[in-house]
Amino acid sequence: MTRKQRRLVLIGSGLVVLAIAAVLVLTALRDSIVFFNSPTDIVEKKVEAGSRIRLGGLVQPGSLQRKDIDAVFEVTDGKNAIRVTYRGILPDLFREGQGVVAEGRLIDSTSFRADNVLAKHDENYMPKEVADALKKQGHWKDDYGKAPEAQGASQVTPK
Average pLDDT estimate for 28-44: 82
> What CA–CA distances, in Å, run from 84 to 13, 61, 62, 129, 148?
50, 14, 14, 18, 29
Residue 139 among known ligand-binding residues: no
Q: Which of 66, 53, 27, 30 is nearest to 115 (CA)?
A: 53
pTM above 0.95, yes or no: no
Q: How confident is the model at residue 148 (pLDDT cuts 50, 70, 90)?
A: very low
Name the CATH code of domain 34-119 (choices 3.30.70.660, 2.40.50.140, 2.60.40.1180, 2.40.50.100): 2.40.50.140
> What CA–CA distances, in Å, run from 59 to 81, 101, 153?
9, 10, 23
Higher-confidence residue of 135 and 59: namely 59
Specify the pairing of strand 70-76 against strand 65-67: antiparallel
Higher-confidence residue of 129 and 159: namely 129
Average pLDDT estimate for 26-49: 83
Q: How confident is the model at residue 124 (pLDDT cuts 50, 70, 90)?
A: low
Average pLDDT estimate for 33-44: 84
Instruction: Give residue limits of the domains in the chain.
Output: 1-32, 34-119
Higher-confidence residue of 1 and 87: namely 87
pLDDT of 48-100, one tens digit each? 888 888 998 889 999 999 998 999 999 988 888 999 999 999 988 888 888 88
pLDDT at 20: 96
How far is residue 8's CA from residue 14's CA, in Å, rounded to a whole number? 10
